[in-house]
Structure 1
């Protein structure tokens, strides 16, 4: 079935999301490993993605670990440095699709407050036809309800959706629902897939 809409994940598809890299640079790899071994920072972030308040969640988490209080607060205070840089080729693909009037949606695990913040830094996040942000929806990938909500809202048949995500578990749920999927490992592979699908020409996908 022809593709009617293209769905982008955001983290590691349009914006690099490598918190460990930030901490390695700021506090050193050894201290970072020690902190991540003691503090479930990704679990903390999952709460934000589920809709818990960005500031309150991180600052409360920091108080549980006084030895790491300042470092944990960096997840909030320096967040835009963790969520950086943008992936320029992916942004060009998003804009190329929209220039051809192909509906382009975002489906992302992201908190409410930090997604809003990101839209003030990365203009392309405001350019989607529809935003599906887990914090707003109170459910996260790879659990089926968020995919069901996307289908109900957009009205596009599952088999006419093409979804790119860097995480296999996220695309596996989509695939089981009948979506067409692409495991994103880099923008060139995604560009090639869009060309194969006839959505963009080779020149448009550069």
Structure 2
């Protein structure tokens, strides 16, 4: 069954268009697997990093983590210093799909949980991030997925009809957040699956 054809497609960025893995620089810094896992789980954790996506400064983030683990101050500062190594490559298949949608006249924007300064670096590294019509960056507006506000802000900024908007994200709770905001949404697992999801919704583009 063909689902209502979207007029707007909104891409997440990390782990949808570009790879992200904080383990990459820390494999050399903390060679022991268990110690590295502890560091990225308890010291510079996902939840700690999300606060930078929400707009917290890196100086405040580092100070907070160092207060908890003063013996790891150098490692904590390294997280930001070596951030560029955490985004080593694009997902070529996803980028090809995005470009095909744009070429087919589909309105494409991006909605991402990203610190404002690291997003500027990502944009310099990956110029294709300038090809969609625009982007909402969580760190710039101090709102974050999956909270309802960020979806509503993005829809208003870009004039999107939520019911005719398809959101693509690698995190299930963010997909669920988009659905709660009245959007269509799919969970990204691979470019091939994304292509199938788009075809199911009547968005016929060349296979990447």
Same fold, TM-score > 0.5, yes or no? yes
| Deviation for aligned residue 1:37 | 4.5
Q: Which residue of 2 aligns with 1:14?
A: 17
Match of 2:189 among 162, 185, 193: 185
Match of 2:161 among 157, 162, 178: 157
Q: Which residue of 1 aligns with 2:116?
A: 112
Give the whole-Å Cα distance in 1 for the aligned partners of 2:123 and 2:65: 26
Give the whole-Å Cα distance in 2 for the aligned partners of 1:75 and 1:97: 35
Q: Which residue of 2 aligns with 1:138?
A: 142
Q: Which residue of 1 aligns with 2:176?
A: 172
**Structure 2 residue ranges without an equivalent (≥5):** none
**1:35–1:68: 8 Å Cα contact kept in structure 2?**
no
| Deviation for aligned residue 1:101 | 1.9
Give the whole-Å Cα distance in 1 for the aligned partners of 2:47 and 2:5: 38
Give the whole-Å Cα distance in 1 for the aligned partners of 2:132 and 2:28: 32
| Deviation for aligned residue 1:7 | 0.6
| Deviation for aligned residue 1:63 | 3.2
**1:15–1:85: 8 Å Cα contact kept in structure 2?**
yes
Match of 2:48 among 44, 47, 50: 44
Please tell me whether residue 147 in structure 1 is matched to residue 151 in structure 2. Answer: yes
Q: Could you report, residue by residue, the CA deviation over 1:55-113 in whole angstroms, capped at 9, with x for unpaired residues?
A: x2444245322322222222111101112321111111111111112111111000111
Give the whole-Å Cα distance in 2 for the aligned partners of 1:40 and 1:121: 24
Give the whole-Å Cα distance in 2 for the aligned partners of 1:20 and 1:107: 24
**1:106–1:130: 8 Å Cα contact kept in structure 2?**
yes
Match of 2:130 among 126, 130, 143: 126
Q: C-alpha root-mean-square deviation of aligned residues, in Å?
A: 1.8
- More displaced, 178-187 or 58-67? 58-67
The count of residues paired between Structure 1 and Structure 2 equals 203
**1:8–1:104: 8 Å Cα contact kept in structure 2?**
yes
Give the whole-Å Cα distance in 2 for the aligned partners of 1:37 and 1:176: 29
| Deviation for aligned residue 1:178 | 2.0
Give the whole-Å Cα distance in 1 for the aligned partners of 2:35 and 2:90: 27
**2:175–2:186: 8 Å Cα contact kept in structure 1?**
yes
Give the whole-Å Cα distance in 2 for the aligned partners of 1:173 and 1:180: 10
Please tell me whether residue 60 in structure 1 is matched to residue 73 in structure 2. Answer: no
TM-score by length of 2: 0.89
**2:163–2:184: 8 Å Cα contact kept in structure 1?**
yes
**2:5–2:203: 8 Å Cα contact kept in structure 1?**
no
